[in-house]
Amino acid sequence: MSSRSLVERSPRARDERVVSGTRTDIQALRAVAVSLVLVYHLWPNRLTGGFTGVDVFFVISGFLITSHLLGRPPRTGRDLAGFWSRRIRRLLPASLLVLAVTLVASRLVAPETQWAATAKQAGAAALYVVNWLLASDAVDYLAAENAPSPVQHFWSLSVEEQFYIGWPLLILVLVALASRLRRSPTAVVALGLGAVVAASFAYSVHETVTEPARAYFVTPTRVWELGVGGLLAVLVGRHGFGRGRSVEAVAWSATARVVLAWAGLAAIVWTGFAYTGATPFPGWQAAVPVLGAAAVIAANAPAATGSPAGMMALRPVQWLGDVSYSVYLWHWPIIVLLPYATGSALGTLDKLAILASSLVLAGLTKRYVEDRFRAPEWGRPLRKPYLLGVAGMAVVVAMAAVQLAEVDRKEAEARDALAAAVATDDPCFGAAALTPGSDCPRTTEGPVVPAPAQALKDKSDAYEEVSGGKDCWSSAPRFPMTVCEFGDPEAETSIALAGNSHAGQWLPALQEIARTRGWRITTYLASQCALAETDQEFDATAKTERCSSWGRRVTRRLVSEGYDMVVYTNRISVPAVGKDIAGSQDAYRRGYESVLATVRSSGVPVTVIRDTPASGDMIPDCLAANDGDLTRCSGSRSEWEPAEPVVDAVSDLDDRGIVLADLNDRICRPDRCDGAVGGVVVYFDRSHLTATYARTLAPALEGPLRKALARG
């Protein structure tokens, strides 16, 4: 949105507006905002709260858009069409260009494991709904571990575009209401916008407390930030409602405005250094950068002693503000894709190159794309921008669809290859390669099965399927009681599988055994929440309480349902309250002991599976990028194998009805853990076993299970 101020020409010229000059303070504020984001993405440890630059952009957009709308209030559908056509010409050409280039670049340099996610997000970004897709992934524990896509920064642009659709409609309704009630349109609009801002702020605070991962992306939690800018436009642009509004400053002395401008800038910069990824956001914490940005705009810093106006008016600052939109568009795809192109993590020179290339591309895009499409001839006739916008969106969506079609084709080929590999009965296939006494070669190069892109989806039925129309996972924030059944429903032997996501990964192995033994398997699984009498510190207090409640209810069911055996395992992914992961071991040991002792009090035997090793990297991505040297996707066993307090819990209880199954020797060699073993991809993400590899562990798991049953 242009930051050029609009002034009233005459009382009769209701629809005429002229440019009186550039709001250098707003251009400078844009420069500050994009600098915060850019530095944060390149050096996140240096500017831990730089993400607040997006919130500054929201306030600016809300202010300028509302100023335009109040200067020429929409009264008819044609008014709205004209407003939206200007938005299309301003925003879509550059954003669609970046999306198209990013899709091509991703296909060329990113591993094939990234193609599908990038295509889906690019298609959603072209339609300006990607923030909702990211919100869904953010609350999906497994999807949350995916590598960042090169277009995920479009979430904020999606929020703005959705705002641009709804906000004019709201103002149109409020203006019409003021006319019907014969009230001041300024008062009615201010009250209406204020009500929306208050409701959105309240929802943002609530959602940030209850589901912060989702709250970060969804539109309702962010509308108030843009709305604050809109309210500011009503308050400081009081003159000539509907006659070309004058964008003014607060009616304070020059000294007071200078102080206000500095205070606003200080608040913004302070959040850049003081906030971190652990700061609950947006919620009320977003009010600091939002009000800081509003203060700078309201002050419209005058040219007075000690004013930041001189610094703001510097040519480099103004230029950066002018190209800030394109800088925002270009910088993130380069950050994400460059490591794939170079084969190494970003170094200082890489980051400086990204900084320079982002500025160069932004300058070119501003001149040859943004400015060109804002020319009046691209807006006439009125349908022209809409036709071009739809065509551009269709091109990007079609490119994404083509990419997804290629992924589907490759997955079909990978499924055939996997079926053929399984059918060979290779004695060195998967975990069998690590059988004591075997002489199987180490898997050091591809191809592997499932193919890395397919491995992302090669998950236990507990993750992917539903049983009886029910989701098999108990998830935050409510953690309901969720039960699924697998295997023979008429089986005489009934097994319960209980724990969090690292319990779910063992279902394929249990299903293999159940098919030959005639067992029925009932699952009690939760996302992240470990089945332990331990208070686990989630990102919201309500989640902690409900996780504990879920654990108590599941433990009672394990005791009361008459199972022949319970299979029990967890991953510690959430620290105990008041602790970090390393300091939570003793709390979990006691929590595991409590659950195991309660289950054993009913006479039910328990097989406890030691937790599996975990890599710090996305294994399928690594394998896809290093097909010729898969050893680059390995790590020290001492680093991958987690501390496991359940081992101590079993030892402390010293109960022969509890059998410990430690299968990590069938996942790792004595000193190293690999991303692929026996030609099979071990993990579908950083820590969860692929269904294929889990099935190859069935022979090793069957012994401990039969031992536990015999002791029941």
pLDDT in tens, 649-681: 999 999 999 999 999 999 999 999 999 999 999
- Whether residue 246 is predicted with pLDDT greater than 70 in this model: the reply is no
Out of 357, 372, 403, a domain closes at: 403
pLDDT tens figures, 578-588: 999 999 999 99
Tally of CB atoms within 10 A around 467: 16
SS (H, E, C) 486-497: EECCCCCEEEEE
Say whether pLDDT at 250 is over 60.
yes
Q: Per DSSP, what are the bridge partners of residue 18?
A: 7
Residue 438 lies in a domain: no
Which of 378, 403, 428 finishes a domain? Answer: 403
Distance CA 503, CA 493 (A): 19
The Cα 94–Cα 555 span in angstroms is 56
Secondary structure (3-state) at 467 = strand
Residue 239: its pLDDT value, please? 40
207 with 69, same domain: the answer is yes
Q: How far apart are CA 43 and CA 410, in angstroms?
A: 36
The secondary element (H helix, E strand) that includes residue 652 is: helix 645-653
**In this structure, which amino acid lies at residue 594?**
S
DSSP labels, 19-71: EEEE-HHHHHHHHHHHHHHHHHHH-TTTSTTGGGHHHHHHHHHHHHHHHHHHH
Which residues on adjacent β-strands are paired with residue 473?
525
Question: Which residues share a beta bridge with 606?
Answer: 566, 658
Is 415 domain-assigned? Answer: no
Rounded to 5 degrees, what are φ and ψ at 646?
-65, -25
Q: Are residue 172 and residue 246 in the same domain, yes or no?
A: yes
Does 619 reside within a domain?
no
Whole-number pLDDT of residue 425: 85
- Tokens for 469, please give them: 């129309």
**Within a domain: residue 446?**
no
Whole-number mean pLDDT of the chain? 91
DSSP 615-648: -SS-HHHHHHHTTT-GGGG-EEHHHHSPP-HHHH
d(CA 693, CA 676): 9
Q: Which domain holds residue 697?
A: 458-614+643-668+690-710
pLDDT digits 0-9 by tens, 25-84: 999 999 999 999 999 999 999 999 999 999 999 999 999 999 888 887 777 788 889 999
Predicted local distance difference test score (pLDDT) of residue 489: 87
pLDDT exceeds 90 at position 138? no
411 in a structural domain:
no
Can you tell me the distance from the alpha carbon of 140 to that of 475, in angstroms, rounded to the nearest whole number? 9
pLDDT bucket at 145, cuts 50 / 70 / 90: low
Q: Which two tokens stand for residue 3?
A: 């930051």
Q: Is the pTM of this model over 0.85?
A: yes
Q: What is the mean pLDDT of residues 168-183?
A: 90
Q: Read off the pLDDT band of 152 (50, 70, 90).
A: very high
Q: Tell me, yes or no, whether 472 and 343 share the same domain.
A: no
H-run or E-run covering 471: strand 470-471
pLDDT of residue 501: 92
Could you tell me the two tokens for 321? 């503000």
The last residue of one of the domains, among 356, 378, 403, is 403
Same-domain check for residues 366 and 463: no
Is residue 48 within 8 Å of residue 220, measured between CB atoms? no
Statement to judge: residues 248 and 179 lie in one domain: yes
pLDDT in tens, 340-361: 999 889 999 999 999 999 999 9
Nearest to 445 by CA among 199, 626, 683: 626
SS3 149: coil
Residues 118 and 219 in one domain: yes
Weakest-pLDDT range from 104-113, 370-379, 682-691 = 370-379
Residue 17 clears pLDDT 60, i.e. is over it? no
pLDDT of residue 11: 31
91 and 213 share a domain? yes
For residues 20 and 167, state if they share a domain: yes
Domain check: are 397 and 478 in the same one?
Answer: no
238 is written with which tokens?
Answer: 């009081």
Q: Does 484 have pLDDT greater than 90? A: yes
What is the percent of the chain where pLDDT is above 70? 93
Q: What is the pLDDT of residue 585?
A: 96
Q: Are residues 462 and 398 in the same domain?
A: no
Number of domain units in the chain:
2
Q: What is the pLDDT of residues 692-707, one digit of tens each?
A: 999 999 999 999 999 9
The answer to the question of residue 100 being in a domain is: yes
Secondary structure element (H or E) that encloses residue 579, with its range: none
SS3 state of residue 14: coil
- Would 624 be classed as within a structural domain? no
Same domain? For 393 and 463 the reply is no
DSSP three-state, residue 303 = coil
> In whole angstroms, what separates CA 291 from the centre of its chain?
26
Higher pLDDT residue, 385 or 19? 385
Chain centroid to CA 178: 41
Residue 142 banded pLDDT, cuts 50, 70, 90 = low
Give the pLDDT confidence score for residue 128 in this predicted structure.
96
Q: Does pLDDT of 712 surpass 90?
A: no
* 357 part of a folded domain: yes
Statement: residue 7 has pLDDT above 50: no
Q: What CATH number should be reported for the domain holding residue 526?
A: 3.40.50.1110
Query: Distance between CA 541 and CA 628 in Å, rounded?
Result: 47
d(C-alpha 60, C-alpha 25), whole Å: 11
- Tokens linked to 615: 């890599």
pLDDT digits (tens, 9 = 90+) for 195-240: 999 999 999 999 999 888 899 999 999 999 999 999 999 988 754 4
487 and 582 assigned to the same domain:
yes
* pLDDT computed for residue 318 by the predictor: 96
Structure confidence at residue 616 as a pLDDT band (50, 70, 90)? confident
Q: Look at residue 148 in the predicted model and tell me its pLDDT.
A: 87
**Coil/strand/helix, residue 90:** helix
- Residue-wise pLDDT for 391-424, tens only, equals 999 999 999 999 999 999 999 999 999 999 999 9
CB 484 within 8 A of CB 467: yes
Other beta carbons less than 10 A from residue 170's beta carbon: 18
Q: What percent of the chain has pLDDT over 90?
A: 79
